[in-house]
């Protein structure tokens, strides 16, 4: 709470129109940010302005609107580059989201290189989107998937990581912040160890990007992926950051327009980065919205947001720990943005429905991370995940609603 | 909270806390495993049928209050019913929850009526119908998985 003096939470909340909503006549307490964040007026207006004033297809027309739309689209890429500190703009590829970004790397980087006997190393705390694309590559190439186990606290077993990393390993893909546990993984150590063996590393930053400052150059990440809608931007837009050298070595993902320099029926010359990976008319409004979201986050400051959310996390953890029969799943020393929990005798879906009746939106389920649920022997968890606009008072509402739920079932 | 009381009525909370016929059955005539892939609810339904009559039905597994209480109430409702009566009850229950309207063959739901509040919570309807779909699969002697998807 130390930041509340500098942190003007009310003016931030005023920027998010949906926070005015009442749910069952109660103020909305939106704690499902891990699934998707809400949008500030600046993002909504950026998309609106594009459609009202500057919309046309990009990179094609010589007319004014096409030029304006192209400029806005290209500006968004510049903003992403700055936000993640990539070396150059063409290392930023727009995709439909983190899922497509991972699939792109799996199919265009890993698949052509891997063969029987090779290994791909992931962790037990991956989202399905960082498991299934690699399983597909394993099926296609005969490579084998290896999984770094996690401890009871929800931290990677780093000695096991080092033991599993070998000259057979051809790709490491690891989540930066776990969507189901909140764990912040020691990405730098992982990348350094992998690089010593010449193994490239993909970092799934979907849950990290809204909560932590990310510098892909300092991390020395080979690939870094995230989705726009988890950082206050629109759905359907995401980012693949890749080192220029690696992206250049990769074949295109999809064939079509905008990804070519010239086409004849005999031969097609692919366009340069990043367009090589952006076949077809892109999600122009999505990119423009993401650019506006990044501007908005920069205005508040990602470090400032991180500090506020850390305060919320500490406060919520201490509040929830005091509730009898509540068990927090994921107690890593380094956590960001969320708390997963279960209640004795109350299934997470019932928690979710009853909390909704109190205006509190949380996620209940397996969070697309079924291996984690199995690891902790729970069918599902309830998850409260935080964003820049959440308040300490909302945590109090959450805690009271949880107590009400417990009383109802006992 | 008033709305929620319609969903989580005392009888539902009671069946959740003390589910009836919550046990694995040795050598059942019919068995099926049902799961809702979206939320992870899993249920096993066991059947003993004698001369076309449901002599015994039990379940075990892991689900939310709606899923567990619906399974529990299902077992009490089905015992002693003929296969045809059981199927009719399944169909009627399904119609009532999915709000497809009433059909000429629908039979009274009796105590199962308390579960019809679920239809106001569309994402929870599958929780309430999982046990019934699993029962249906067991009855048809379909070994293996039944999904509510």
At A139-179, the pLDDT tens digits run 999 999 999 999 999 999 999 999 999 999 999 999 999 99
pLDDT at A59: 83
ipTM of predicted assembly, 2 dp? 0.81
Inter-chain touch B3–A350, beta carbons under 8 Å: no
At residue A339 the predicted structure's pLDDT band, cuts being 50, 70 and 90, is: very high
Which residues of B have a CB under 8 Å from any CB of A? 1, 3-4, 7-8, 13, 16-17, 38-42, 62-68, 121, 124, 127
What chain B residue is nearest to A357 in terms of C-alpha separation?
B1
Q: What is the mean pLDDT of chain A?
A: 95
Query: Does A349 sit within 8 Å of B124, measured CB to CB?
Result: yes
Q: Residue B136: which H helix or E strand, with range?
A: helix B125-139
pLDDT of residue A230: 98
Q: Which of A353, A365, A366 sits opposite B7 (nearest CB)?
A: A353
Domains recognised in chain A with CATH numbers: 9-40+301-409 (3.90.1150.10), 44-299 (3.40.640.10)
Active site residue A88: no
* Cβ within 8 Å of residue A4, ≥6 positions away: A392
Residues of chain B with C-beta less than 8 angstroms from the C-beta of A409: 13, 16-17, 65
Q: Min CA distance, B55 vs chain A (Å)? A: 30
For residues A388 and A312, give the distance between their C-alpha atoms in angstroms, rounded to a whole number. Answer: 10
> pLDDT by residue (tens digit) across A95-128?
999 999 999 999 999 999 999 999 999 999 999 9
Q: What is the mean pLDDT of residues A207-212?
A: 97
pLDDT beyond 90 at B76: yes
pLDDT range class, residue B3, cuts 50, 70, 90:
low
- Contact criterion met (CB < 8 Å) for A350 and B65: yes
* Mean pLDDT, rounded, for A333-339: 96
> Does the pLDDT of residue B147 top 70, yes or no?
no
Predicted local confidence at residue B2, as pLDDT: 57
Query: With 50 as the cut, is the pLDDT of residue B4 above it?
Result: yes
pLDDT in tens, A19-65: 999 999 999 999 999 999 999 999 999 999 999 999 999 987 789 99
> How far B84 CA lies from chain A's nearest CA (Å)?
33
Pairing of strands B30-36, A381-385: unpaired
pLDDT > 90: what percent of chain A? Answer: 88
pLDDT in tens, A243-268: 999 999 999 998 887 777 778 877 78
Domain B2-147: top CATH class: alpha beta
Distance (Å) from the alpha carbon of A344 to chain B's nearest alpha carbon: 11
Mean pLDDT confidence for A326-341: 96
**A378-408 residue pLDDT tens:** 888 999 999 999 999 999 999 999 999 999 9
Q: In this predicted structure, what is the pLDDT of residue A385?
A: 98
Residue the block writes with tokens 């939320």 = B39
Please indicate if any CB of chain B lies within 8 Å of the CB of A184: no
Q: What is the per-residue pLDDT for A264?
A: 80
Confidence of residue B142 (pLDDT cuts 50, 70, 90): very low
Mutation target for A interface from B1, B43, B62: give the one with most A CBs within 10 A. B1
Q: Do the Cβ atoms of A394 and A402 come closer than 8 Å? A: no
- Percent of chain A whose pLDDT exceeds 70: 99
Q: Where are the domains of chain B?
A: 2-147
Task: Indicate the DSSP class of residue B111.
Answer: G
Question: Which residues of B are less than 8 Å from A366 in CB distance?
Answer: 39-40
Give the SS3 label for residue B146: strand
The pLDDT confidence band at residue B64, using thresholds 50, 70 and 90, is very high
Spatial distance between the Cα atoms of A3 and A311, rounded to a whole number of angstroms: 8
pLDDT average, residue stretch A345-357: 94
- Cα–Cα distances (Å) from A120 to A167, B68, B81, in that order, read 11, 40, 55
Provide the pLDDT for residue B120.
85
Selecting from A350, A357, A408 the residue whose C-beta is nearest the C-beta of B64 gives A350
Cα distances (Å, whole numbers) of residue A206 to A168, A274, A363: 28, 20, 16
Chain A hits for B62, Cβ within 8 Å: 379
Name every chain B residue with its beta carbon within 8 A of the beta carbon of A380: 39-40
CB atoms A409 and B41 under 8 Å: no
The confidence score (pLDDT) of residue A386 equals 98
Q: Which helix (H) or strand (E) holds B56?
A: strand B53-62
Whether residue B148 has pLDDT greater than 60: no
Residue A3 has pLDDT above 60, yes or no: no
């Amino acid at each position: 709470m130390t930041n509340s003096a500098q942190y003007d939470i009310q003016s931030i909340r005023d920027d998010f129109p949906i926070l005015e909503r009442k749910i069952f006549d109660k103020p909305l307490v939106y704690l499902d940010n891990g699934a998707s964040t809400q949008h500030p007026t600046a993002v909504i207006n950026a998309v609106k302005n594009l459609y009202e004033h500057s919309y046309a297809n990009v990179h094609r027309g010589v007319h004014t609107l096409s030029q304006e739309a192209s400029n806005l689209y290209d500006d968004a890429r510049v903003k992403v580059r700055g936000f993640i500190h990539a070396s150059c703009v063409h290392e930023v590829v727009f995709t439909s989201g983190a899922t497509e970004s991972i699939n792109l790397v799996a199919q265009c980087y890993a698949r052509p290189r891997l063969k029987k006997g090779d290994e791909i190393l992931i962790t037990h705390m991956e989202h399905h989107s960082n498991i299934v694309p690699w399983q597909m590559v394993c099926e296609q190439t005969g490579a084998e998937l290896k999984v770094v186990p996690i401890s009871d606290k929800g931290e990677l077993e780093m000695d096991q990581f080092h033991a599993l990393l070998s000259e057979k390993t051809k790709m490491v893909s690891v989540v930066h912040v776990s969507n189901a546990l909140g764990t912040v993984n020691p990405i730098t150590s992982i990348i350094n160890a992998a690089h010593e063996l010449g193994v490239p590393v993909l970092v799934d930053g979907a849950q990290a990007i809204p909560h932590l400052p990310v510098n892909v150059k300092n991390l020395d990440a080979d690939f870094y992926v995230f989705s726009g809608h988890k950082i206050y931007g629109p759905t359907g837009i995401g980012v693949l950051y890749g080192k220029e050298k690696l992206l250049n070595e990769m074949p295109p993902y999809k064939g079509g327009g905008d990804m070519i320099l010239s086409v004849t029926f005999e031969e097609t010359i692919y366009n340069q980065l990043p367009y090589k990976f952006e076949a077809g008319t892109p999600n122009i409004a999505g990119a423009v919205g993401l650019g506006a979201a990044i501007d908005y986050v920069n205005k508040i400051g990602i470090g400032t947001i991180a500090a506020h959310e850390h305060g919320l996390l500490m406060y919520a953890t201490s509040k929830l720990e005091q509730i009898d029969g509540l068990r927090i799943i994921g107690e890593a020393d380094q956590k960001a943005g969320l708390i997963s929990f279960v209640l004795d005798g109350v299934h997470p879906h019932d928690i979710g429905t009853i909390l909704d009746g109190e205006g509190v939106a949380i996620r209940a389920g397996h969070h697309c991370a079924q291996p984690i649920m199995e690891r902790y022997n729970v069918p599902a968890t309830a998850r409260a995940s935080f964003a820049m606009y959440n308040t300490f008072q909302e945590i109090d509402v959450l805690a009271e609603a949880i107590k009400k739920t417990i009383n109802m079932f006992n | 909270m008033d709305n929620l009381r319609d969903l989580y009525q005392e009888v539902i909370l009671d069946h959740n806390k003390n589910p009836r016929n919550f046990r694995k059955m040795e050598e059942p005539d019919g068995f099926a495993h049902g799961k809702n892939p979206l939320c992870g609810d899993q249920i096993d339904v066991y059947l003993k049928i004698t001369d076309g009559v449901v002599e015994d039905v039990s379940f075990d597994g892991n689900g939310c209050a709606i899923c567990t209480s619906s399974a529990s109430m299902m077992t009490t409702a089905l015992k002693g019913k003929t296969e045809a009566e059981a199927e009719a009850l399944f169909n009627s229950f399904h119609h009532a929850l999915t709000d497809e309207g009433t059909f000429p063959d629908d039979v009274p739901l009796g105590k199962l009526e308390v579960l019809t509040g679920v239809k106001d919570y569309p994402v929870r309807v599958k929780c309430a119908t999982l046990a019934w779909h699993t029962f249906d699969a067991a009855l048809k002697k379909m070994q293996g998985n039944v999904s509510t998807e």
